[in-house]
Structure 1
Amino acid sequence: MKLGVFTVLLADKPLEEALDYIAAQGLEAVEIGTGGYPGKSHCRPEELLADKGKLNAFKKAVEARGLTISALSCHGNPLHPRQEVAKSYHEDFMHTLDLAERLEVPVVNGFSGCPGDSDDAKYPNWPVVPWPNEYRELLDWQWSEKVIPYWQEIGRIASQKGILIGLELHGGFSVHSPGTLLRLREAAGEAIGANVDPSHLWWQGIDPVQAIRLLGQSSAIHHFHAKDIAIDPVNVNKHGVTDMQPYTEILGRAWQFRSVGCGHDGKVWGDIVSALRMAGYDHAISIEHEDAIMSVNEGFTKAVHQLKQVIMREPMGTMWWV
């Protein structure tokens, strides 16, 4: 495994300055945003694809610092019911796939997206209960008419390019749990897998270790985000885990994203890394910083310190004692 970081937390720094900062922390991998919600502050795929000189300079900037690119990340909603919105996210994703192929980056991360409730809808609609029956009917329509057809085609293209798709299991999107990921993978092919982020599993009541074991049985883990969460024992009983208050409501929310080790201790994170090892995952542990009460520098460096204690870099070796 390699310890890495999702570079969007350093969006205010030029690429080479951000890479210098990352390398100085002893990291080995970077995940770079290429569009959608993460933006393109460090990488504009359409420009790199059109200019070989810029492409080579980009690649050299990463390699010269002893870093590898674990994934290109284009998190958007390509299933958005408004066609102009969906088109923008889709085009960014396709450019990202092309760039990953050119750079020989193995994984492209993103969201599954979420359709609306009809072809005339203006906003996404995320049904989360099976009754009244309209919600179940809506969910069936979304998957059969929108989710599966779209990702079947993307899975086919990704397979041709030799690229894996890491869909983040994130609330608000059609794929948000191990079960929904495996459902889509069965329909769209093995290029489709998970970008596992424990923080989004915890607030849904899913144990990340068990999720990793479940996904690992199907070799369905393509990337991993290291991000923590703290659930407030009082506020969660008032607002529930689907708390709709903004993240800026730090004192009142049911849960908050935290830096690694500030929501769950080292033993828990050690168990997660061990589960990844047993599932056969040997790619990047990519830090994602979204801690509202820490600066980027403090939250990032604390996460690096915590993960260096538990990450497994060497091969398993032989069982000499057996």
Structure 2
Amino acid sequence: MKLGLMTDSLAHLPLEQAAAKCRELGLEQVELGCGNWSSAPHVDLDALVNSADARRALTGILSDNGLTISALNCSGNPLFPGEKGRQHRAVTEKTFRLAGQLGIETVVMMSGLPGGCPQDHSPTWIVTSWPPETEEILRYQWDEAIARWQEMARQAEECGVRRIALEFHGWQLVYNPETLLRLRQAVGPIVGVNLDPSHLFWMGADPLAVARELRQCIYHVHIKDVRTEPAAAVNSLLDTKGVLEFARRSWNFVTPGSGHDETWWRTFVDTLRALGYDGPLSIEQEDYTIPLDDALEQASALLHRILES
């Protein structure tokens, strides 16, 4: 396995300084955000797609710092109704093209979420089977999603992308193994998982059990933790407060080791190894409770200890 970083974690730095920081942390790979929900701080997607010189400059900076690219990330909602969905699909298609041009076979995404009927202007996330209208909404959403995803998978394959690694997340049609496998069955083996334990924690799943369930289709791994806070006992884990309101939230994204201890993370990596996974471990830093540099140093140090033992 190779340890890397989702470079949106260093969005405040230009690419040259971000790459140097990765080298300082002893990392080997980077995952580059290309747009949609990422601000794409280190990627000018149009320039890179249209210029071989720009691509050489990007890979040269990374190579000079001993880094390779683990994946491109264009997480967004390509199923959003109307113009926003078209915009997100356009970024997704260009990301597929760039991946092919760079020889990158993995693209990290989220599944997206359609509206609940043809007249909807925004998505609707159904998390219960009652009232009975929910079943009709879900049938419509899955029909919409499968048709869109079959087309996107075809586009990805034409560009040379072999793995679309979908991340489980709230407000997405794919948020657990059952929904991932349903989409994979309809679309094909190009669809797999970007396994991020953090979202599974707050949704109540066991990431170790999930890894075993999806052993054949773990295509990429994010390293991010969650800490359950005292407010959860009163307000539950369903929490709509912003991530910067961390003092009041029921749960928070935190640095690995701060929500689940090193023993748990060692078990997680050992489980992945036992399942035959030998791909990237990409740190995604979204801990707002401690300074950024401290978070990155703690995360990388913990993973180095685990990987080197």
TM-score higher than 0.5 here?
yes
Query: Contact between 2:107 and 2:164, CA under 8 Å: does it hold in 1?
Result: yes
Residue number among 134, 141, 149 corresponding to 1:151 in the alignment: 149
Specify the code of the residue in structure 1 equivalent to 2:175.
Answer: H
2:274 equivalent in structure 1: 278
1:75-101 residue CA offsets vs partner (Å, 9 max, x unmatched):
1111112x1111111111111000011
Aligned partners of 1:65 and 1:252: how far apart in 2? Answer: 40
Deviates more, 1:148-157 or 1:65-74: 148-157
Q: TM-score, normalised by structure 2?
A: 0.97
Specify the code of the residue in structure 2 equivalent to 1:167.
Answer: L
1:178 Cα deviation from its structure 2 partner? 1.2
Aligned partners of 1:133 and 1:311: how far apart in 2? Answer: 49
Aligned partners of 1:182 and 1:85: how far apart in 2? Answer: 26
1:14 equivalent in structure 2: 14
Alignment length, in residue pairs?
308
Aligned partners of 1:140 and 1:308: how far apart in 2? Answer: 45
Query: Contact between 2:99 and 2:161, CA under 8 Å: does it hold in 1?
Result: no
1:45 Cα deviation from its structure 2 partner? 2.0
1:162 Cα deviation from its structure 2 partner? 3.8
Query: Contact between 2:192 and 2:219, CA under 8 Å: does it hold in 1?
Result: yes
Secondary structure, aligned partner of 1:5: strand
Aligned partners of 2:271 and 2:139: how far apart in 1? Answer: 33
1:57 equivalent in structure 2: 57
Aligned partners of 2:234 and 2:241: how far apart in 1? Answer: 12
2:172 equivalent in structure 1: 173
Query: Contact between 1:101 and 1:163, CA under 8 Å: does it hold in 2?
Result: no
Aligned partners of 1:197 and 1:231: how far apart in 2? Answer: 16
Residue number among 301, 304, 309 corresponding to 2:305 in the alignment: 309
Specify the code of the residue in structure 2 equivalent to 1:43.
Answer: V
Where has structure 1 moved over 6 Å in runs of 4 or more? none
Aligned partners of 1:247 and 1:51: how far apart in 2? Answer: 37
Secondary structure, aligned partner of 2:149: helix
Deviates more, 1:86-95 or 1:36-45: 36-45
Deviates more, 1:173-182 or 1:246-255: 246-255
Specify the code of the residue in structure 2 equivalent to 1:57.
Answer: A
1:312 Cα deviation from its structure 2 partner? 6.2
Aligned partners of 1:292 and 1:14: how far apart in 2? Answer: 21
1:171 Cα deviation from its structure 2 partner? 0.9
Aligned partners of 1:230 and 1:41: how far apart in 2? Answer: 28
Aligned partners of 1:158 and 1:112: how far apart in 2? Answer: 14
Secondary structure, aligned partner of 1:311: helix
Secondary structure, aligned partner of 2:17: helix
Change (3 A) 1:312 1:118: farther
1:27-82 residue CA offsets vs partner (Å, 9 max, x unmatched):
0000010001112210122111211111111111112221110000001111112x
1:250-292 residue CA offsets vs partner (Å, 9 max, x unmatched):
2221100001111000110011111111222111100001111
2:83 equivalent in structure 1: 84
Aligned partners of 1:206 and 1:264: how far apart in 2? Answer: 14
Secondary structure, aligned partner of 1:36: coil
Secondary structure, aligned partner of 1:246: coil
2:261 equivalent in structure 1: 265
Aligned partners of 1:103 and 1:173: how far apart in 2? Answer: 29
Specify the code of the residue in structure 2 equivalent to 1:223.
Answer: H
1:135 equivalent in structure 2: 134
Query: Contact between 1:80 and 1:123, CA under 8 Å: does it hold in 2?
Result: yes
Change (3 A) 1:194 1:278: same
Q: TM-score, normalised by structure 1?
A: 0.93
- The runs of 5 or more residues in structure 1 that have no matched partner are 314-322
Secondary structure, aligned partner of 1:75: coil
- The runs of 5 or more residues in structure 2 that have no matched partner are none
Secondary structure, aligned partner of 1:39: coil
Aligned partners of 1:49 and 1:244: how far apart in 2? Answer: 37
State the Cα RMSD in Å: 1.3
Query: Contact between 2:244 and 2:288, CA under 8 Å: does it hold in 1?
Result: yes
Identity in percent:
38
